[in-house]
Structure formats: C-alpha cells, structure tokens
Amino acid sequence: MTDPRSLTRAHFDYVVPATTRWSDNDMYGHLNNAVYYELFDSAINGWLITGAGADVLALPELGVVAESGCRFFRELEYPGLLDVGVRVERLGRSSITYALGLFGAEQDDPAAVGHWVHVYIDRTSRSPVPIPAAVRELLETAERLRT
C-alpha cells in the first residue's frame, strides 16, 4: 500500500473543489472530524451522479457504506477552499473501495487521507448485488486511464 502522505492530487481519478462553512469549525477552530466524512461522501456521490449519470436515489441498488476511516495530517479551517480527491482502490463484484484525499487550497500534500467502502445491495431484500453497470463503467474507465 502507498504511504498516504505521499499522495498528491495527481493520484486521484476525480478531484472536486469544496469550500468550508462557518458551521464546520469545532470549538478548537478547525474542521470537525465529521465534516471530513461529509466532504468525502459528497465527492464520491457527486462523481457517481455526474460521471455515471446515476440517479443514486432511484437506482434499484443502494450503495451503502460498509467501512470508512480517515488519517488526519494537518488542520483545515473556515474560511477555506479545499479539493477533495477520489480514487478507485479496488473494484469488486458488489463493492468498491475508494481512497480519498482532502487538500487545502494550493497545497499538493493531503491534509487528510480517507478510505471508504461502498457495498451495493438490493433496495428491497438488502442482499448484496453487482455494482450497477453505469457505475462500474465509470470506475473501470478511471482505473484504465490511471494505468
């Protein structure tokens, strides 16, 4: 596995800008840890919605988070411009493992690196199902472009 501190924007398949909000700060004056997860979730789903044309609210399959984590390297705060990077680490039959990077404005080293595992399940039975075709196509294309 690559050392997370060595990742740069160039290592990510999709990078989206974000801004911090006043309410994102905690009592210590930096972004609350939960905000990092919100940014990761928004970046992943934004990529799937725009890149795959997937209506994640209407698909018969649900992408649920089975695992997540984050390593924090540097504080971020309000006000601030950020970039959130998403990278496909593993593409399985019914699951996707993402690496995520959170970068401060004009910084190439990550302030935080996360991981996220989506498992696709049937909306009704809640049993694992294959990744939806449009989502798989987008993620396979990203993997091919990287190699």
Find the CATH number of the domain harbouring 72: 3.10.129.10
Global confidence as pTM: 0.92
Task: Answer whether residue 1 is part of any domain.
Answer: no
Split into its structural domains, the chain has a count of 1
Per-residue pLDDT of the chain (147 residues; tens, 9 = 90+): 578 888 999 999 999 999 999 999 999 999 999 999 999 999 999 999 999 998 888 889 999 999 999 999 999 999 999 999 999 999 999 999 999 999 998 899 999 999 999 999 999 999 999 999 999 999 999 888 876
36 lies in some domain: yes
Please, which contacts does 97-106 make with residues 24 or more away whose CB atoms are closer than 8 Å?
98/40, 98/44, 99/4, 99/7, 99/11, 99/12, 100/40, 100/43, 100/44, 100/70, 101/7, 101/9, 101/11, 101/12, 102/36, 102/39, 102/40, 102/76, 103/9, 104/74, 104/76, 104/80, 105/80, 105/81
